C-alpha cells in the first residue's frame, strides 16, 4: 500500500498541505514513487555485481561496528553525567 491507495479525502488534504491540486499532487507522488523504484533497482543491480565479502572483511566490519557502538554508549553516559542524570 502506498499513499495513492488512501481515500481521496486524505489525498486532497495532503495536496492542500502542499498547495497543489489533487491531480498535480498525485502526478508528483507517482513520479517520486517511480523514481524510488528505479533507484532501488539500480542499487540491487550494483549489489548483485559485487562479490560477497571475505571472512576478513566481515570480521573488520564487526570490529568497526563494535567500536562505533562502544563510542555511542560512552557518549551517552558522558552526556547523562553532564546533565546530572544518574
- What pLDDT sits at residue 65? 92
Q: Give me the average pLDDT of each 10-residue run along the chain (86 residues).
A: 93 96 97 97 94 95 92 86 78
pLDDT of residue 82: 87
> Could you write out the DSSP letters of every residue in 4-58?
GGS-HHHHHHHHHHTT--HHHHHHHHHHHHHHHHHHHHHHHHHHHHSPPPPHHHH
Instruction: Check residue 35 and give its pLDDT.
Output: 97
pLDDT for 62 equals 95
Q: Which cell numbers in the block locate residue 5?
A: 491507495
Per-residue pLDDT, 73: 85
What pLDDT does residue 23 have?
Answer: 97
CB atoms within 10 A of CB 6: 13
Q: What is the pLDDT of residue 86?
A: 61
Q: How far is CA 59 from CA 14, 54, 72, in A?
A: 46, 9, 20
Amino acid at each position: 500500500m502506498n499513499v495513492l491507495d488512501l481515500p481521496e479525502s486524505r489525498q486532497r488534504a495532503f495536496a492542500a498541505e502542499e498547495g497543489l491540486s489533487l491531480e498535480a499532487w498525485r502526478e508528483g507522488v507517482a513520479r517520486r514513487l517511480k523514481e524510488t523504484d528505479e533507484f532501488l533497482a539500480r542499487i540491487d543491480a550494483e549489489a548483485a555485481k559485487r562479490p560477497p565479502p571475505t571472512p576478513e572483511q566481515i570480521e573488520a566490519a564487526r570490529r568497526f561496528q563494535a567500536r562505533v557502538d562502544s563510542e555511542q554508549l560512552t557518549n551517552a553516559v558522558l552526556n547523562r553525567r553532564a546533565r546530572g542524570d544518574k
